[in-house]
Structure 1
Amino acid sequence: MPRPNREEQFETGEICIVHAVQRCVRRAFLAGVDAATGKDYSYRKEWIRRRMEALASVFGIDVLSYAIMSNHLHVILRNRPDVVASWSDAEVAIRWLRVFPGRRMEEHLAEPTEHEVKVLAANSERIAEIRLRMSDISWFMRSLAEPISRLANKQDECTGRFWEGRFKAQRIVDEAGLLACSMYVDLNPVRAAMTSDPEKAPHTSAFDRIQASQGKRIDSAAFDLKPVPTEEAAKQIRETPVDELREQRKAKKRNPTGKRIKRDAWLAPLTLSPDKLSGDAEVNRDGVRASDKGFLQVSVREYLRLLRWTAKQNIDGMAAAIPSSLASTLTQLGIDASMWRDLVWNWQKYFGKSSCVGSPDSMRLDAKRCGKHHHQGQASASACFI
């Protein structure tokens, strides 16, 4: 069955949440240990994580959860056209030029200047087009995939695809589906038997949140959103040797803003703020993510407790009784607590072929939005909901 058109799943001008899966070509372990050659490419997972972190600082898109595996990537994204609408034309221009600097004579400089920002900001038609792209999940995934592919091909001295093709997308239509999907994503390394403990699974959002709760900080990969003064750029080109400029650029790439941040600061906060109005964009002012808006009505502590419990239920038919406090959280969302383990561990059975994730009622409503009678997987998922 062909995948649905993107416009059926999400629209640029509409806030929605999407679970995206991007696989390496032929499912080869291009970010892990290559079984054929024995080479270990695991360090490429950090390439992918840092690129996501950098893009989170410029796009109007929140990264909610992620897991980077040896041959594929899971990420849950929420597009924020309301956040992009709050940016000035100059802000839109500098953000775009940071991701797409364009071809230029001085590739060793590759820093947007004040003049370039002003010229682009003055082009109202172009800025309107870019605004749409800055909250477009497809453009975010493109901006993530292409540089990683070029970098890996350059390192391997080869050409061709790194990623299999266009990413798979599942629209998440309610909080019950979002909690289950986030848990599924965070437990990918546990499911793959890479570890039995989420605390020992780097390159996942759960690991980042656990590390941040312990006070761990990292060098920020966020883009510097200040353009270079035009005169300063010209002076650099005239007076600084090309090799030195290239070294300066490499050094700045490692930490463009010079900031050290909490390990999860670039991710969207997990918990929704009850004191905020539902229509409040909660724009982030630190330049590390699109907004400060949470996405679940549970605390980080409750989420991690449920995550750890679920991680231990790895044998079919051997699940322990879920603690009453955790069961209460699930019941409030309409999830059958006795089916929680099965829902998360056997995710593919329920939602593997579906383009939509959520409770049966929410999936039914979304099917109507798309002009369909129902979504695939809707009937099987009903077993896990009250």
Structure 2
Amino acid sequence: MTTARSQLISVEATPYYHCVSRCVRRSFLCGYDELTQTSYEHRRGWVEKRLKRIASVFCVDVCAYAIMSNHYHVVLHINKDQAYRLSNHEVIDRWLTIHRAPMLIQRFLKSENLSEIEQNACLAIIQTWRERLCSISWFMRLLNQYIASEANREDNCTGHFWEGRFKSQALLDEKALAAAMAYVDLNPIRAGIADTPEASSFTSVKARIESHRKDQITAPSLFPFAGNPRNDMPEGLPFSLADYLELVDWTGQQVRGDKSGHIQSAQLPILERLGIKADSWLDVCTNIKKCTLIGSAAAIQTALPKFNRQRRTALQIP
């Protein structure tokens, strides 16, 4: 049974979410189709480019992503405070970079004399756009609509391209966030199409590594690492890039099972800092796709009322 989006996304519970969209047709989103001997590799660039464009407009930050052959993963951060700090004109400017302006808004921008009713109508439109700019549903909608249109045009067909709605998981604490990001960035390695994070094309971990090599503070269009939590904590992910890379490296070495590919082992300071036991961490990374809420027992219990839910259908991180 489909769960209402209001029971899956609640910014009051957490601003972090892991989302997945999967292609509905046998045809590939990306990759190489052995049956038709057709390569769709170029579509990975479509998804990555569109993802970065929407992230530059929306007040939704991209923490991690991986673009696979028939689906893609993103870990998103809802930046509601940023959306509500924007002026009315800043909201309009952002929204109109990917949409056309209604006539009433055009008149508003030209500072024409508007009646009180027209002024109120403009403010209502701007408020709607402000809310959409920090909406994961609208973020994913604009990403998926564009890719579906481009793919259908290329395939010379019509109809659904995506497998219904995107799936989302609430990440309730630091442990859940780190687990989801590592899970996403390790997708190509688990699938056996890459040997190391730096060789994993169209992933956030590779983008971050390449930016680091260029002495850039953070990869363009990606939510930055802010380092260990502290009193003067800036906006960003609550751990350092170095610790995260060690986390990905170590997890990729350990999570093997029936999956192909592995990376070299490494020390993992982040596990000790977050108080994560190795066995528990591996269990989380193996089963992360099975639940809609991910976090510690206390975090899950606290979040349930905010999602209007009573049942604990969640993945608990010790």
- Say if 2:317 is the partner of 1:376: no
The SS at the match of 2:85 is: coil
The aligned length equals 307
CA distance in 2, matches of 1:353, 1:307: 20
Q: Which amino acid in structure 1 is aligned with residue 284 of structure 2?
A: L
CA 1:274–1:311 in structure 2 vs 1: closer, same or farther (change >3 Å)? closer
- Within a 5 Å distance, the mapping from 1:73-222 to structure 2 comes to 73-101=72-100, 117-118=109-110, 123-215=122-214
Question: TM-score, normalised on structure 1?
Answer: 0.71
Q: Does the CA-based 8 Å contact 1:99-1:143 persist in structure 2?
A: no
Q: Is the 8 A contact 2:27 2:33 kept in 1?
A: yes
Deviation at 1:333, TM superposition (A): 2.2
Q: Is residue 337 of structure 1 aligned with residue 273 of structure 2?
A: no
* One-letter identity of the residue aligned with 1:178: L
**Structure of larger gyration radius:** 1
Tell whether 2:5 aligns with 1:22: no
Secondary structure of the residue aligned to 1:63 is strand
Q: 1:176 to 1:263 in 2, by over 3 A?
A: closer
2: CA distance, partners of 1:181 / 1:359: 14
Q: CA separation of 1:51/1:371 partners in 2, compared to 1, >3 Å: closer, same or farther?
A: closer
8 A contact 2:20–2:168 mirrored in 1: yes
Letter of the aligned partner of 1:332 in structure 2? R
Question: Which residue matches 1:267?
Answer: 222
Q: For the Cα contact (< 8 Å) 1:13–1:132, is it kept in 2?
A: no
Alignment gaps of 5+ in structure 2: 113-117
Partners of 2:39 and 2:183 in 1: CA distance: 26
Q: 1:262 deviation in Å?
A: 7.7
Letter in 2 for 1:50: K
Which region of structure 1 is more displaced relative to structure 2, 52-61 or 352-361? Answer: 352-361
Mapped contact 2:173–2:299 kept (Cα < 8 A): yes
In structure 2, distance between residues paired with 1:187 and 1:28: 24
SS at match of 1:25: coil
Asked if the contact 2:58–2:133 (Cα under 8 Å) also holds between the matched residues in 1, the reply is yes
1:85-131 Cα distance to aligned partner (Å, 9 max, x none): 11111111111111112699xxxxxxxx9867447996111111111
Identity %: 35
1:126-163: CA deviations, max 9, x gaps? Answer: 11111111111100001101111111111221111221
Deviation at 1:371, TM superposition (A): 4.4
Where does residue 366 of structure 1 map in the other structure?
Answer: 303
1:306 has 2:247 as partner: yes
Distance 1:115 1:26 in 2: 44
State how far apart, in whole Å, the 2-side matches of 1:30 and 1:208 are. 21
Aligned pair in 2 of structure 1 residues 5, 58: CA closer, same or farther (>3 Å)?
A: same
In 2, Cα distance between the equivalents of 1:270 and 1:27? 37
Contact 1:198 1:308 in 2 (8 A): yes
Q: Secondary structure at the match of 2:32?
A: coil
Q: How high is the TM-score relative to the length of structure 2?
A: 0.86
Q: Report the AA paired with residue 189 of structure 2.
A: V
